[in-house]
Amino acid sequence: MFTFQPIGVVRGPYTDTGEIPKGPGAKHDAEGTLDVHPEFEAGLTDIDGFSHLFVVWVFDRSTDYDLMAHPPIDDRPHGVFSTRSPRRPNPIGLTVVRLLRRDGPRLHVRGIDMLDGTPFLDLKPYLSSVPPDELKRGWLDEVEARSRRPGGG
Ligand SMILES: C[S@@+](CC[C@H](N)C(=O)[O-])C[C@H]1O[C@@H](n2cnc3c(N)ncnc32)[C@H](O)[C@@H]1O
């Protein structure tokens, strides 16, 4: 077993999960802050140079998990590990945010999809080395293709 200590708290506009955009083409452009606890502030040294960050966080308001998930964008179930469902055995969230600016221990970011008050465990610079033509998006591509067809949904 492992014990993790949050390094900070997300502050953003969402207080209810129903307010967070979902579905095909949902845009995550909400702005908020990642407030790093003072004892970890030195760890932010040099972070300003990165445009995007991975935020590793906790679905602290999830109470249980389902191995088969029912994503809101599809009428078919999918294994939880092929989705981004909040109801997972280890309730860990991963979000890429745009870093707008830093004020000491406070990072101003765009792309929040977590509830206000969500604890986060780690930050890492976003670096992607996967060439776009090698990236496969599994069942998501099928759903998006269906929704683009006339009469699709
Ligand atoms: C589909 S998950 C994706 C989160 C993240 N981008 C990921 O891939 O791990 C986003 C949803 O998690 C839920 N959520 C956000 N913050 C949460 C929290 N602190 N506890 C439980 N559920 C949360 C909301 O319903 C939100 O729409």
Residue-level pLDDT, tens digit, the chain, 153 residues: 999 999 999 999 999 999 999 876 788 899 999 999 999 999 999 999 999 999 999 999 999 999 999 998 899 999 999 999 999 999 999 999 999 999 999 999 999 999 999 999 999 999 988 999 999 999 998 898 888 887 665
Q: Which candidate, 5, 7, 4, 10, places its Cα nearest to that of 42?
A: 7
Q: State the Cα–Cα distance between residues 137 and 77, nearest whole angstrom.
A: 16
Ligand 1: which residue has its CA nearest to atom 9?
A: 93
The verdict on the CB of residue 41 being under 6 Å from ligand 1 is no
Burial 49-61 (b: 16+ CB within 10 A, else e): eeeebebbbbbee
What local confidence, expressed as pLDDT, does residue 45 receive?
98
What local confidence, expressed as pLDDT, does residue 62 receive?
97
Q: Which candidate, 23, 21, 27, places its Cα nearest to that of 146?
A: 23
What local confidence, expressed as pLDDT, does residue 128 receive?
86
Q: State the Cα–Cα distance between residues 42 and 7, nearest whole angstrom.
A: 12
CB atoms within 10 A of CB 112: 24
The verdict on the CB of residue 59 being under 6 Å from ligand 1 is yes
This prediction has a pTM of 0.94
Q: Which candidate, 27, 18, 117, 127, places its Cα nearest to that of 72?
A: 18
The verdict on the CB of residue 114 being under 6 Å from ligand 1 is yes
The verdict on the CB of residue 93 being under 6 Å from ligand 1 is yes
- Choice from 10, 98, 114, 118 to test ligand 1 binding pocket (greatest atom count within 8 A of CB): 114
Q: State the Cα–Cα distance between residues 146 and 130, nearest whole angstrom.
A: 26
Residues 73 and 85 sit within 8 Å (Cβ to Cβ): no
What local confidence, expressed as pLDDT, does residue 77 receive?
97
